[in-house]
Amino acid sequence: MSEKTVYESLRESGLSRRDFMKFCGLLSGWMGLEFLPGVKALAATPEQVAEALMAKPRVPLIWLELQDCAGCTEAISRSQSPSLVNLVLNSISVDYQETLMAAAGFQAEASMRATMEKFKGRYVLVVEGSLSTAADGVYCAIAGRSGPDILREAAASAAAVIATGNCAAFGGLPKAAPNPTGALGVGDFIKDKPIVNIPGCPAIPEVTTGTIAHFLVMGTLPKTDRLKRPLTFYGHTIHDHCLRRPFYDAGKFAESFGGHGAREGECLYKLGCKGPTTYNACSSLKWEKGLSFPVQSGHPCLGCSEPNFWDGGGFYQAQSAPIDRPTAAAFGLAAGVGAALGAAMAGANGLAKRKAGKTEPAEPKKAAE
Amino acid sequence: MSPRIVIDPITRIEGHLRIEAGLDASNTITAAYSSGTMVRGIETILQGRDPREAWAFAQRACGVCTTVHSFASIRAVEDALGIKIPKAANLIRNMMLAQQYVHDHVMHFYILHALDFVDVVSALQADPKKTSDIQQSISAWPNSSPSYFADVRKKVQTIVDSGQLSLFSHGYWGHPAYKLPPEINLLAVAHYLECIDWQSQVTKIHTIFGGKNPHPNFVVGGVPLPIDMDGDQSLNAEKLSVIADSIKKLNDFVDMVYIPDLLAVAPYYLDYAALGEGLGSFLTWGEFPEGDIADTSKYVVPRAVILNRDLKNLIIPDPRDFDKMKEYVARSWYAYKGGDGVGLYPGKGETVFNYTGPKPPYKHLAVEGKYSWLKAPRWNETPMEVGPLARVLVLYASGNQATVGLVNAVLETLKAPASALFSTLGRTAARGIETKVIGDLLPRFYGQLVAEIKAGNTATFESSRWEPHTWPSRAEGFGFAEAPRGALGHWIEIKGGKIANYQLVVPTTWNASPRDHKDQPGAYEAALVGTKLAVPDQPLEILRTIHSFDPCMACAIHMFDADGRPVAEAGTGFNVVVEP
């Protein structure tokens, strides 16, 4: 085999065995995430990490962009730990990624094809953006091929599929009413592969890279909730760890942007915050090395890690307020549909919370032989 | 027909772009066709929603130029409803947008554009000592020692030796059009890697005021974060210090890495100072209001049109001019009631899907007919280029001192005539010049914000028109942003508290537009003609010119009727045609 392991590559780049074990210790510490409130430990020892990195060549990764805005690509480029540079130089080989790759045109396609053949059953497929299934796929064509055609082929030989962002996970913005292009989430289309969803708009960078890192080290996808979201990042709501939570408990609510309550940092529930029904790690991990997250910056949570959040009942309407779904009238739907959607969303969230601890882990799959 | 090459996907851009180009016997491009191949229907989705929420939907048009659609959207709603935002909120918005420019342009240069000029594999031949000498001669950037560059070279060597080239796989390495010596290639590769780490740490203005990046949060009427120097969650002295540090970190990289690199690389590609001009006509909507947004004379970047390189006679365009601002669909996959010969004002646009292209999988598009999901926007029936070159020319022509000084200095350094600005290299240089000009606005806006706070002007939100019952029954508005990629406009109509019509005309729709009713090509198509390809199946030269525009396709295509029926019959309420 001419392929080199991560360990061999690191040794050749001048890293000693001792340094390598230190690196594995750091990575396993990071995998444990013990310093984060509300984030469950993944329990990998330095030895397990070392074993994982020494046993394989760099894991190839194919990153498809379908109906996307590249926001999740931008996001992952801002991952703090592990950083994108670190991942790319040391752990993975990004063999197809339209926004970042050097090759274009048929050479880009050749790079993807080479990986699919050489690493059959061993590469990770990351998908960003929703899948348009209407009108023979003419709404998203790449290299003259339709989205469904490309996704079907790329998924067929993948070891695992990671759907990053709300669009790939649940259909996201393109699926918002009236879903003009027949957009779907990846899991609605690919049924025979282990899939993990990393919803968010965009996905939190460290949640995507953390899930990739979990796969590299453990060889499996992490345990997930019923919406296939990793429990470690989606086990609690924004509300559970929100720094404005004490104000909620005390019944102190900001009534207006810029008003007295807003200046005091009071709870944004009445301004429409969806934190209580939104499962994500914004309030625990935060953004840009813990600098802030939307609620901390004074804006209510939009609920962007939940299915159909774009139609969830109005970003500025308190969740217990009567729901006036604006699109209902315009699209000739029954007036109650919006309310039903909102209620369904809340119901689904409740169910997710109740079941979260009991769901089965995603089907384990070997990363490489 | 002459031989036609196809590049699809064009990578290192946002979104899905396809270029087909006809070549003559000498492999010179005789005609080029630019096609956008992905649509989502954002305007359709916006119909009937709360206008206060539109910014969130519109923002997702693009995650690379994140924020810019939010600006255009909240300004359109504020324009329609007559909302005047507080001074401090305007300054905070200006800082957010200025940060976006610096971050986005530097990212573009290194991550999306550099590999068109930099041969990564050649860097392996570099002498790190010589690279170190070059680095130390061009700037005071601290990462400059021979051992630093030796280490970078070793990293690249490790990747190449592994047989897994990752992002560098199947690149055009060794292509004869790569001209840089190995030492400068190594320098650029080092900064490519540094740029990824740098950019992950300098979106702090967005994160503080918007909670995250990409896709920070906005609010119609101001900004979400209150100012209270005695508060612990508001904008206070601690957060101001983080912002001040971040501004320095942003501008240090521009001053010590980006601009010196640009000037180190450009002399090897002066042939591109005479290639890739395109249209010679330019449009800006203007940006950075320093007073009332309705007063365009208080914008740092003026609102202007330049026709046929004429910098002496700037024209002020009116985005509400029904007769001049129009979109055409003669070569786009849409049908107008009035036929392919007419153009429509965006505020009164029609969008009926009319896909006549081949069914996937396909090899070629039928470029003689309709061939793109992009419409063809025109100002006074003339195609326009938008973006950094347009802005730098407008700033230069209107006597902006910083811009005049930088443009003249760059031309002098490269020993290039003024006409060199109208080219692929001119576009790439203009982006650098603009980054410096706008980056230097950040400390100015910061200082103005601190002065307002000291004067007690800490209001950040105008609440009087927040509740829908305070709105008129019908209102129209125009919102704009000079996005890093160029002039962006949103047109909104509000009826009964809901969005009745919403239209976007975005930078890449101007630049990547297909031909129009008069067979006039768009900016990309015009810019490629006359370019000679050294190796036709490795069309590096095409990538250089296309990337110099910094395409953003997801922005550019956003509307259509999925079923291909007239919208009234489809019954979706989509894109209702409003009679004037």
- Which residue among A83, A88, A178 sits closest to B200, beta carbon to beta carbon? A83
Task: Tell me if chain B has a CB within 8 Å of the CB of A258.
Answer: yes
Structural class in CATH, domain A236-339:
few secondary structures
- Which residue among A89, A137, A326 sits closest to B48, beta carbon to beta carbon? A326
What is the average per-residue pLDDT within B546-568? 58
Quick one: closest CA in A to B59, which residue? A69
Residue B88 has pLDDT above 80, yes or no: yes
Q: Which of B172, B152, B156 has its CA nearest to residue B164?
A: B156
- Which residue among B38, B224, B572 sits closest to A140, beta carbon to beta carbon? B38
Evaluate whether A6-234 and A236-339 have a shared fold. Answer: no
Residues of A in contact with B205 (CB under 8 A): none
- Which residue among B44, B52, B224 sits closest to A178, beta carbon to beta carbon? B44
Residues of B in contact with A338 (CB under 8 A): none
Q: Which of B367, B290, B401 has its CA nearest to residue B522?
A: B367
Shortest alpha-carbon distance between residue B309 and chain A (Å): 32
Residue in B164, B168, B246, B367 to test binding to A, most A beta-carbons within 10 Å: B164
Residue in A88, A90, A94, A257 to test binding to B, most B beta-carbons within 10 Å: A257
Residues of B in contact with A299 (CB under 8 A): 210-211, 217-219, 224
pLDDT band per the 50, 70, 90 thresholds, residue B565: very low
CATH of domain A6-234: 3.40.50.700
Residue in A101, A128, A140, A252 to test binding to B, most B beta-carbons within 10 Å: A101
Q: What is the pLDDT of residue A336?
A: 34
Q: Looking at A212-221, A231-240, B116-125, B393-402, which range is the least confident one?
A: A212-221
In the numeric block, which tokens belong to residue A13?
């780049």
Residues of A in contact with B47 (CB under 8 A): 327, 330-331
Cβ–Cβ under 8 Å, residues A224 and A356: no
> pLDDT tens for residues B502-550?
988 999 999 999 999 999 999 999 999 999 999 998 999 999 999 999 9
Residues of A in contact with B363 (CB under 8 A): 144
Residue in A66, A297, A315, A324 to test binding to B, most B beta-carbons within 10 Å: A297
> pLDDT tens for residues B468-480?
999 999 999 999 9
Q: In angstroms, rounded to a whole number, what is the distance separating the alpha carbons of residues A191 and B28?
A: 48
Structural domain boundaries in chain A: 6-234, 236-339
Q: Which of A256, A265, A358, A276 has its CA nearest to residue A319?
A: A276
Q: What is the pLDDT of residue A11?
A: 66
pTM metric for this prediction: 0.88
Token pair 């001119």 is found at B426
Range B363-369, long-range pairs (CB < 8 A, 24+ positions): B363/A144, B363/B6, B364/B4, B364/B6, B364/B20, B365/B18, B365/B20, B365/B33, B365/B35, B367/B20, B367/B33, B369/B331
Contact across the interface for B49 and A326, Cβ inside 8 Å: yes
pLDDT band per the 50, 70, 90 thresholds, residue B441: very high
Cβ–Cβ under 8 Å, residues B371 and B33: yes
Contact across the interface for B233 and A243, Cβ inside 8 Å: yes
Beta partners for A287? A292
Task: Tell me if chain B has a CB within 8 Å of the CB of A251.
Answer: no
> pLDDT tens for residues B295-343?
999 999 999 999 999 999 999 999 999 899 999 999 998 889 999 999 9
Contact across the interface for A13 and B15, Cβ inside 8 Å: no
pLDDT band per the 50, 70, 90 thresholds, residue B186: very high
- Which residue among A13, A72, A103 sits closest to B154, beta carbon to beta carbon? A13
Residues of B in contact with A265 (CB under 8 A): 231-234
What is the average per-residue pLDDT within B168-191? 96
What is the 3 state secondary structure string of B52-96?
HHHHHHHHCCCCCCCCHHHHHHHHHHHHHHCCCCCHHHHHHHHHH
Task: Tell me if chain B has a CB within 8 Å of the CB of A88.
Answer: yes
Residues of A in contact with B166 (CB under 8 A): 58, 88, 92-95
pLDDT band per the 50, 70, 90 thresholds, residue B189: very high
Cβ–Cβ under 8 Å, residues B329 and B336: yes
Shortest alpha-carbon distance between residue A347 and chain B (Å): 23
Quick one: closest CA in A to B242, which residue? A291
What is the average per-residue pLDDT within B436-444? 98
Contact across the interface for A293 and B53, Cβ inside 8 Å: no
State which amino acid sits at residue A266.
E
A200: left (phi over 0), alpha (psi -120 to 50) or beta: left
Burial status of residue B434 (CB atoms within 10 A of its CB: 0-12, 13-18, 19 or more): buried
Shortest alpha-carbon distance between residue A168 and chain B (Å): 13
Contact across the interface for B226 and A262, Cβ inside 8 Å: yes
State the DSSP H helix or E strand holding residue A150, giving kind and residue range, or none if neither: helix A147-156
Residues of A in contact with B571 (CB under 8 A): 332
- Which residue among B11, B39, B360 sits closest to A181, beta carbon to beta carbon? B39
pLDDT band per the 50, 70, 90 thresholds, residue B13: confident
Shortest alpha-carbon distance between residue A48 and chain B (Å): 23
pLDDT cut 90: percent of chain B above it: 82
Question: Taking chain A (369 residues) in consecutive chunks of 10 residues, what is each chunk's mean pLDDT?
Answer: 59 64 56 37 55 68 94 95 88 92 92 95 96 86 89 96 98 94 95 96 96 89 96 97 96 95 96 96 96 98 97 89 41 34 39 39 36
Q: Which of B521, B511, B542 has its CA nearest to residue B331?
A: B521
Cβ–Cβ under 8 Å, residues A197 and A330: no
Task: Tell me if chain B has a CB within 8 Å of the CB of A293.
Answer: yes
Contact across the interface for A99 and B112, Cβ inside 8 Å: yes
- Which residue among B12, B45, B226 sits closest to A298, beta carbon to beta carbon? B226
In the numeric block, which tokens belong to residue A118?
């050489």
Side-chain-side CA neighbours of B331 within 13 Å: the count stands at: 23
